[in-house]
C-alpha cells in the first residue's frame, strides 16, 4: 500500500523487487497474498512506463490474462486488470504481446459476464487505451466485434457505463484511419451514437458528435 504514495529509490529499476513480486503473484496459494502482490505491481507501474520492460522479464502474461483475470475473487481480478491497463499504456511491442495472448477476447468476455460496475468501468478503460493505440490494435478490436459489445452496453446496460463506452468509440474513430472509422460506423457505431445522443450529459454529447463527424469525414473520403 505504501508503494502507492512513496517515491521509488534510485536504482529501483535495476533491483529484483518486481521479479520477486511476479513470482509471488504466480506461485502463492493465498488469494490475499496474490492480491497484495498484484496491487504492488500496479502501483509500481503507475510510476511510469519505464518499469514495463523490467516487469516483462519475469511476468507470466498468460497466467495474468487467463488465470488472474478469470479468478473467482474480485480482489484478484481487479488488480490484474489494473496491471493490464498499465501495460496497455506502454510501448507497442508489449501491447502486441498482450493481443497475441488473447487479451481482447478476455476483456470483452469479462465486460459481458462480470456484473460489477467498478470492474466493467476498468475494462472499458483498458479498451479505450487499446483503441488509442496503433491501427493494428484498433483492427484487432474491430475483428473481435467490439462495436456489438458496446452497443449492448449503451442500449441496455448500466447508464454509468455510457461515458466510458463513448470514449472507446471516440478513440477508434478519431485515432484510427478512415477504414477503421467506416468499419466501426457500419458495425453498430451509428446505432451506438444514436443511443448516446439521447443523453443530457454534455461530455457524452461532445464525444458522440466528434465520433459522428469522423464517420462523416471517412465516408466523404471514400466517396472521393
> For residue 22, what are the CA distances in angstroms to 34, 61, 95, 125?
9, 10, 18, 23
Q: What is the pLDDT of residue 47?
A: 82
The pLDDT of residue 57: 85
Sign of CA dihedral 188, 196, 115, 70: positive
- For residue 57, what are the contacts with CB-CB under 8 A and spacing of at least 6? 18, 19
With a cut of 70, list the residues of the chain below it in pLDDT: 1-15, 222, 224
Instruction: Give the pLDDT score at 46.
Output: 86
Tell me, what's the pLDDT at 17? Answer: 80
- Phi/psi of residue 89, each to 5°? -100, 0
Q: Which residues contact 151 (CB under 8 A, 6 or more apart)?
A: 188, 191, 192, 195
Q: What is the pLDDT of residues 10-34, one digit of tens each?
A: 555 556 788 889 999 999 999 999 9
* Confidence at residue 7, expressed as pLDDT on a 0 to 100 scale: 60
User: Distance from CA of residue 6 to its chain's centroid?
Assistant: 26
Say what the pLDDT of residue 59 is: 87
Asked if 111 and 123 touch (Cβ cutoff 8 Å), the reply is: yes
* Residue pointed to by grid coordinates 493505440: 133
CB 115 within 8 A of CB 156: no
pTM of the model: 0.87
Amino acid at each position: 500500500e505504501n508503494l502507492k504514495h512513496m517515491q521509488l529509490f534510485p536504482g529501483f529499476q535495476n533491483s529484483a523487487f518486481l521479479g520477486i513480486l511476479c513470482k509471488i503473484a504466480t506461485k502463492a496459494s493465498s488469494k490475499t497474498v496474490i492480491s497484495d502482490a498484484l496491487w504492488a505491481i500496479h502501483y509500481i507501474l503507475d510510476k511510469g512506463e519505464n518499469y514495463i520492460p523490467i516487469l516483462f522479464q519475469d511476468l507470466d502474461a498468460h497466467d495474468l490474462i487467463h488465470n488472474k483475470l478469470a479468478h473467482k475473487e474480485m480482489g484478484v481480478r481487479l488488480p490484474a486488470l489494473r496491471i493490464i491497463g498499465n501495460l496497455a499504456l506502454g510501448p507497442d511491442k508489449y501491447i502486441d504481446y498482450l493481443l497475441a495472448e488473447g487479451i481482447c477476447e478476455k476483456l470483452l468476455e469479462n465486460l459481458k459476464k462480470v456484473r460489477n460496475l467498478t470492474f466493467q468501468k476498468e475494462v472499458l478503460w483498458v479498451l479505450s487505451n487499446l483503441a488509442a493505440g496503433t491501427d493494428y490494435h484498433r483492427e484487432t478490436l474491430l475483428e473481435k466485434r467490439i462495436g456489438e459489445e458496446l452497443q449492448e452496453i449503451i442500449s441496455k446496460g448500466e447508464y454509468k457505463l455510457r461515458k466510458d463506452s463513448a470514449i472507446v468509440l471516440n478513440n477508434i474513430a478519431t485515432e484510427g484511419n478512415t477504414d477503421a472509422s467506416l468499419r466501426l460506423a457500419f458495425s453498430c457505431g451509428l446505432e451506438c451514437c444514436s443511443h448516446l445522443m439521447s443523453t443530457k450529459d454534455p461530455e457524452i454529447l461532445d464525444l458522440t458528435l466528434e465520433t459522428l463527424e469522423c464517420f462523416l469525414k471517412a465516408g466523404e473520403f471514400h466517396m472521393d
